[in-house]
Each structure stands twice: as C-alpha cells, then as structure tokens.
Amino acid sequence: MKKIIFRVDDRLIHGQVIEGWVKYYKIHRIMVVSDRIAGDSLQRMIFQSALPSGCTLEIMSVDQFIAGFSRLKKVKDYTLVLMESVEDLARCMNLIDSDIYVNIGCVACREHKVEVSNTVFLDLNEIEQVCSIRDMVEVYIHKVPWEPSVEIRNFSKLLKGGL
Amino acid sequence: MKSLITLFKSLFYHAGLNHENMQGTGFFYLLKDAAKRNGVEIDSAVLENQRKYFHTHPFLVNFILGMWLTEYKNGSDPETFKKAYSSAFGALGDSFFWHSLRPFSFVFAAITGTVDPFLGIMIYLLTFNLFHFTFLFTGYSLGMELGRDVIVWFNRIGFNKWPEHFDLVSVFFLGVFLAYIFKTGAEISVDVFFIAAGYLAMGLIMAKKLDITLGLMINLILSGIIFFQLGV
C-alpha cells in the first residue's frame, strides 16, 4: 500500500476508518481536509475525541492542505487524508501523483445521484471530476482494506447518456 | 420513564437500515416520537428532512437524539452537530461495542461455558447488554442535558480509551483460559504444538496478504488434504 492515502468519505472519521484503515495499516497520522470543519472548534473537538490513543489528527481547510502538501510528501509513515467530497479531491488534483492511493470510500445518496457502488453515489459533476483524476492515476472504490477494491474504469459509458 | 420508553423504541431504530439513507428512517421515527413526548413542535419540513442519509452507531443514537432536541429548542442549528456526532459516535461505538466488548463478553462466556454451556450464553448476553442498555438508557437524558456539548461527557469518562483497556483484560483472560484448556483437555506434544502454531501463522499471513475468506478456504482445503493423506 502506498504511504499517502487520499480517501473521499463524507462521514470523515467513523467506524470503517478507525477499525479498518487506521488499525489495519497502523496509521498514526490522520488529516481531515474540510473547509466546513476547519473553522469550527467544537466539531474539531468532537472528531479529536473519536480517535484511539496514539493517533494524531490534523484538521485543515483545503487551501491550507494544498499549501503544506510538500511537507507531507517527505514523511515516511502512513498518512490518511480524509476529504468530505469529490469536489475537495478535485481541488487537490494537482497534488495527486502515482505515490498516492486515491480511494473513494463513502459518498452518501442525495437527489440526482447515481449509485456507483452500495456506498458511493455520485452526480454528473462528480463523475466528470473523478474521470479527470482517473486520467492521471488509478482511482478505487475501497470500503475497508480487507475487502476487494474496485477500480473505476467505465464511467465514460455513464457520461454518454447512461445517466 | 421517558428514557425507558426511548430505550425501548431505539431498539427498532436499526430496522430501517438501507443503502440509500442508511438509518435515516430510524432517526426520523425516533425523533418524531421523542418530540411528541416532550411537547416540542418541529417544523414539518425540518422533520421530513430527517429521513435523509444518517448513519451512526445504533447504541449511541440516543445521545444524538437528545442533543438534537435540545439544540432545536434553543433555536440553534442541530444539523451541523448531528453530522459531526454521527461520524464520531460511529467510530467510538464500532471500536468499543463491536471490536472490544464483543470479544470481552465472549471470553467470559467461554470461561463460564466450560462449567455450564447455558451459563456461558447467559454471561455473554448479560455482559454485552449491560453496556448496550446502559448507553441507550442514559444517552437520551445526557443528550438533552448537555446538548451540543455531549462530547464532554465522553471525554470525561475517557471513552475512546475503553477499547484499549477492555482488550487488555480480554487478552489476559483468553490466555488464562487457553492455558487451562490445554493443561486439562489436550495431550500437547512438540509436534502438535508446531502444527498448531504453523496453522495459526499461515492463517494470519494469508488473511493479511490475501483475503480472510480466501485464507480460511485455503486452510480448510489443505487440512482436508493432510487429513486424507493421514487417513483420518
């Protein structure tokens, strides 16, 4: 597994992340990248309280994350970067290269969204954004490490009228 | 009494689980009922909105329910905190109830089960449900009392460290139990010890590198071949 994991998960820190990714890969460093949470001290405390001991959590806005990313590339330990939406991931597109494992874990069902897997529901915009990231690196739907991952390949069919 | 009714109703909360709105239907059901009992008038559009996607640990949902009602009564925005708490409680609840309390209860059930199997089952149900029902019972009133600050209570009891402590106790008693079983119930030779250790190591490596189910299947097939060759 690559050392830096970008995961889109609109629940951010929850059971699958802690019991799955964090414990499986013994990840000690989690970064939550969200403009919504970065500015709210109580929400920061709520997420901080959900972590097991030995884990450090950094919460920052998307712009702060982009600005400080070069520092992260030098770290040799596993780092899990959690983003709330595909849109946030697309904003970080210039940072993505083959050293990063890009993973869509959970995007909730909302109106006008298409079921891509049983945990991932995307609208047309999000599908286009994922496709453009897919042009650079492989993108996977991967709930928990011990379950098989699904590589996203055939969204172009959806874009050509399948929606 | 209100906490007791909420506890009973929250046992049905998880029944509406589906991939589209996860437990949104269950939360809508609980909130509508709790608001009625507390005399809180919730705007119909806001209430209807509760059917949307929501997912948390089912044993901690009453904390969110109480928090939501208090924040709504105070005129603030409960939705922001509902979302944050749903994720955080999902993490805390999964770590404690599923990954620590379940094995913890199992170890004590296994130990007492050697005396009497029925007692073992009872011990499992009692140990697990003591925590299950306590959290469901106290959750609603604590959520109502503390509102958006309900996380402070979890920090005060150090809930995120409970899984670690429970795991330590479980592992200790599992070791005692296995040692007792080996001492009293099996003829352990060096051969048997190394075969068992080899099986364990192979299973763990395959589960880690390949897949848990595939690892189990390969182990079973290999066992079948070995037993067949040995004429068992």
Average pLDDT, chain A: 86
Contact (CB, 8 A) for A6 and A103:
yes
The residues spanned by each domain of chain B are 2-185, 189-232
pLDDT at A133: 87
What is the reported pTM?
Answer: 0.84
Helix/strand/coil (H/E/C) assignment for every residue in chain A: CCCEEEEEECCCCCHHHHHHHHHHCCCCEEEEECHHHHCCHHHHHHHHHCCCCCCEEEEECHHHHHHCHHHHHCCCCCEEEEECCHHHHHHCHHHCCCCEEEEEEEECCCCCCEECCCCEEECHHHHHHHHHHHCCCCEEECCCCCCCCEECCCHHHHHHHHC
CA distance B163 to chain A (A): 8
Quickly list H helices, chain B.
Answer: 2-10, 24-38, 44-49, 61-73, 78-93, 102-113, 117-146, 151-156, 162-185, 190-209, 212-230
pLDDT at A163: 52
Query: So what's the ipTM on this one?
Result: 0.86
Contact list in A for residue B166 (CB cut-off 8 A) is none
Chain B residues contacting A via beta carbons under 8 Å: 19-22, 52-53, 55, 57, 80-81, 84-95, 98-99, 148-149, 151, 154-155, 159-161, 163-164, 207, 211-212
pLDDT at residue A86 greater than cutoff 70: yes
Residue B211 and residue A146: Cβ atoms within 8 Å? yes
Residue B19 and residue A40: Cβ atoms within 8 Å? no
pLDDT in tens, B67-104: 999 999 998 889 989 999 999 999 999 999 999 999 99
pLDDT in tens, B94-144: 999 999 999 999 999 999 999 999 999 999 999 999 999 999 999 999 999
Q: Choosing among A16, A46, A47, A59, which should be mutated to test the B contact, i.e. which has the most B CBs within 10 A? A: A46
Residue A146 and residue B98: Cβ atoms within 8 Å? no
